[in-house]
Structure 1
Amino acid sequence: MSEVTIAELQQLYEPPAEAIQKAVLPHLVPFHKAYIAAATFFCLASGSREGLDASPRGGPAGFVKVIDDRHVAFADWPGNNRIETMRNLVEDDRLAMLFLFPGLEVFLRINGRGRISTDHGLLTSLMERGKTPKTAIMVSVEQVLFHCGKAINRARLWSLDGRIDRSNLPSVGQMKVALTGGSATEAERVDAHYQESVRNDLY
């Protein structure tokens, strides 16, 4: 497969409109802050010499805290304990946040630099359900921009008829048994435990 050059790409695609280019800012303005205050989910991208990582982050509206025009912060809550994002940020502080807004046809992206914080005041401000996170990530904003929602509509992401039938794909328990060995009964136990944990053991 031949490599495509920048010049070839520029021949294939029209340059972005001036209005789109002007909409990429180095700091937050009030309408960015309004969307962040309403946000309940984003994907976080980071990387290191070992490779790249993207992880989902979610919480109640306001779980991403706007500190000022150039900084936001969010808690790191328990997941699979691989802590790949944290490891990456120790080596390479570049990151990107892509926000999805359920029901809306727009994305918000922040590109910037992240650092891990254990500051007590910050952690306390990010408490949820009476729980205090072990760490938080403070993001210095370098670029903030909106993306159009065409991908949402191509995916039918917010449409009821776009939902995937759970029975059409292997369950978590079935995949674990396939990878590590076990019986159908063991798969059912794993599925039951997963459903309980993923819905209730959130903090």
Structure 2
Amino acid sequence: MEIPGLVEITTYDELREVVPEPLAAAAGKTRKELHDLDRQWLAASPFCLIATSAADGSCDVSPKGDPAGFTKVFDGSTIAIPERAGNRRVDGFGNILSNPHVGLIYFLPGRGDTLRINGRARIVREAPFFDEMVVKGNRPQLALLVEIDEIFHHCSKAFLRSKLWNPETWDPEAVPSRPRISKALERQDADLAELEQYYGKAYEEKIYQVKY
């Protein structure tokens, strides 16, 4: 697509003409092992995003959530994330099979700062620690084992700009509901009333009952 007046950056030097070198505190904040503060964060976090890229460059970002502390910490450089049944697309896991590098961002509800972890992942189908990941009777069938390459905390500027945690900015009705989106884009032949029932209260009640 041609956009009139567009000026593209194509080299690292051009990028640095716009964005100066980071301050020493930012440039040197990456670590290779978990600090006790990182462990506290993981113990309190109920949600993370996992970014992956296949060998061909195709990308995916998948949300993962469970009760706070769902990420198991083995030692200073190894963690594991349980996988619950979802839509069966396994986009991220498929990427990992050809490129093990992953990027994780851990959130704390109400906090603007985040914890970021970059590392290499393996897909595990069975391990003794699965017994420690049972939630409401659901034992995961898969888990992601991540060897940490670097870890650091990220500031809250994006959250402050977006006012993400400010309830006064929330407008869940700004776009059509999930059932209506599904009807328009994914399940055109389905009855809207049935979709509304499917995504209703029973949907939440069954999220730990489903297996692959």
Higher helix share: 1
1:159 pairs with 149, 158, 166, which one? 166
* Counterparts of 2:172 and 2:95, CA distance in 1: 35
Partner of 1:176: 182
2:27 is equivalent to residue 21 of structure 1: yes
DSSP-derived class of the 1:98 partner: strand
What is the correspondence of 1:1-203 to structure 2 with a 5 Å cutoff?
1-4=6-9, 5-48=11-54, 49=56, 51-166=58-173, 168-179=174-185, 180-182=187-189, 186-203=191-208
For residues 165 and 178 of structure 1, the distance between their equivalents in structure 2, rounded to whole angstroms, comes to: 18
Check 1:198–1:147 CA distance in 2 against 1; reply closer, same or farther (3 A cut): farther
Query: Partners of 1:157 and 1:28 in 2: how far apart?
Result: 27
Which ranges of structure 1 fall in alignment gaps of 5 or more residues? none
Name the SS for the 1:137 alignment partner.
Answer: strand
Cα distance in 1 between the residues matched to 2:68 and 2:180:
34
- TM-score when normalising by structure 1: 0.92
After TM superposition, give the deviation of residue 87 of structure 1 in Å.
Answer: 1.2
After superposition, the C-alpha distances for 1:100-123 in whole angstroms (9 at most, x for unaligned) are: 111112011100000011233021
Aligned length, in residue pairs: 200
Q: TM-score, structure 2 length as denominator?
A: 0.88
Secondary structure of the structure 2 residue equivalent to 1:177: helix
Give the match's secondary structure for 2:198.
helix
Q: Tell me, what secondary structure is at the counterpart of 1:108?
A: strand
| Structure 2: gaps spanning 5 or more residues | 1-5
> In structure 2, how many angstroms separate the alpha carbons of the residues matched to 1:16 and 1:58?
32
